[in-house]
Structure 1
């Protein structure tokens, strides 16, 4: 009995330690009405991350396409004074973007954005993998923000798509309006000329 009493705490401590060292992995999903191209353009536009709940801005120049090996700095919304380094690990055009966030020595964070066309729309997923002894603390501070990333990404792509369609719509409306005005003017002139001819005939 005594031997068993001593063995059990040691076994449980190893299990607790192994569980503590296990990576934390969680994925958030949403479905968007935006196309795969619009979603991919939004997620790869590293110069404009204003939609992101965690990242406020980056030092990436406008128009730069992310490629594996690219390292850039980003300012987070939680600690806007201290920038973090982000390393682009993997890029599959129109499918997947994986980056590694190098923020603190005691934690390693890997993030994956994925877009996929489905029958119900375009599925957007945001996966987070955390390793290190500081990962529970970091996750407790960032989880509620990370849960909104996929939704905010989809909304930003939908807004951009709507603005693009609206920008092209007035030109078509103006053309139709001009065509209608020309027809109305032509019909009006024809009516006036007909009325004038009738009056002249009556007078004569």
Structure 2
């Protein structure tokens, strides 16, 4: 687990300003093959495994593609937030940006890789802006579980298919 918190205070044109940055990466190991993990990850319509997201407006069967903008309803509030898919490298990386409110920039990156010990899932979250400490305080308990919940969902899907 990698955690970085940065706070910078500086004077700009006679005004006092500050910048916040929160970066954290979580890793989990899964017995499911990378292909199963990847399919679970890019199916944006099914977020039943995600501890923070309740539902999306993505039609069934539509997979993540760069440039796709969709809405997600979180388990915290019924107000939808917009997500933007930035980068997709098949069977490797999915990067998204949350377009929520001014004063907060949030990027989410999922990486999957196959090793001799199993498949690794890496979930990274980056928060920038003056609202990032408050948002981090709200979503941290959910972020702690994202990678392990994805691993369990893929393993359960694998067990159901057998």
C-alpha distance after superposition, 1:102-121 (max 9, x if no partner) = 11111010000110011111
Q: 1:106 aligns with which of 103, 108, 112?
A: 103
Q: Residue 89 in 1 paired to residue 86 in 2?
A: yes
Alpha-carbon contact 2:82-2:100 (below 8 Å) kept: yes
Q: More strand by proportion, 1 or 2?
A: 2
| Offset at residue 145 of structure 1 (A) | 0.5
Change (3 A) 1:90 1:126: same
Q: Residue 29 in 1 paired to residue 30 in 2?
A: no
Name which one, 1 or 2, has greater alpha-carbon Rg: 1
Q: Residue 135 in 1 paired to residue 132 in 2?
A: yes
Could you say what the CA RMSD is over the residues aligned between the two structures, in angstroms? 1.4
| Offset at residue 132 of structure 1 (A) | 0.6
C-alpha distance after superposition, 1:159-183 (max 9, x if no partner) = 0011001xxxxxxxxxxxxxxxxxx
TM-score normalised by structure 1 residue count: 0.71
d(CA) in 2 for partners of 1:100, 1:16: 23
Larger RCO (CA within 8 A; separation ≥ 6)? 2
Matched residue, 1:41 = 39
d(CA) in 2 for partners of 1:68, 1:23: 25
Q: More helix by proportion, 1 or 2?
A: 1
Matched residue, 2:59 = 61
TM-score normalised by structure 2 residue count: 0.89
| Offset at residue 144 of structure 1 (A) | 1.0
Alignment of 1:1-204 (within 5 A): 16-17=8-9, 20-79=18-77, 81-165=78-162
Structure 1 stretches lacking a partner, 5+ long: 1-14, 166-204
Aligned residues: 150
Structure 2 stretches lacking a partner, 5+ long: 1-6, 11-17
d(CA) in 2 for partners of 1:53, 1:69: 24
SS in 2 for 1:156: helix
Runs of 4+ in 1 over 4 A off after TM superposition: none
